[in-house]
Amino acid sequence: MDLERILGQLEEERDRISQAITLLKKASFGGDARTKTVRNGKSSSRPRRTMSATARKRMSEMMKKRWAERRKKAKSS
């Protein structure tokens, strides 16, 4: 077993992996400003808004009404 050859191959592989990690970091953190980046588990954009149960129900009813009107309009055409 040629230990020197094995060590050389492992070091080459380590260098390739290190380079891949560097490229991935640049792509995810240094990319387009419009993309969402996550650092330390926190999003860089503003926090998400939550919708109350009553607001969800109202939105659901509005959408059902809207789709019913579309279906009715499609049938008449």
- According to DSSP, residue 70 is labeled H
> Is pLDDT of 19 > 50?
yes
Determine the length of the chain.
77
In degrees rounded to 5, what are phi and psi of residue 15? Answer: -65, -40
What integer pLDDT is reported at residue 31 of this predicted model? Answer: 54
pLDDT digits 0-9 by tens, 58-70: 999 999 999 999 9
Identity of the amino acid at 71: R
pLDDT value of residue 48? 76
Q: What is the DSSP string of 3-30?
A: HHHHHHHHHHHHHHHHHHHHHHHHHHHS
Q: At residue 69, what is the residue type?
A: E
- Say if residues 12 and 18 touch (Cβ distance below 8 Å): no
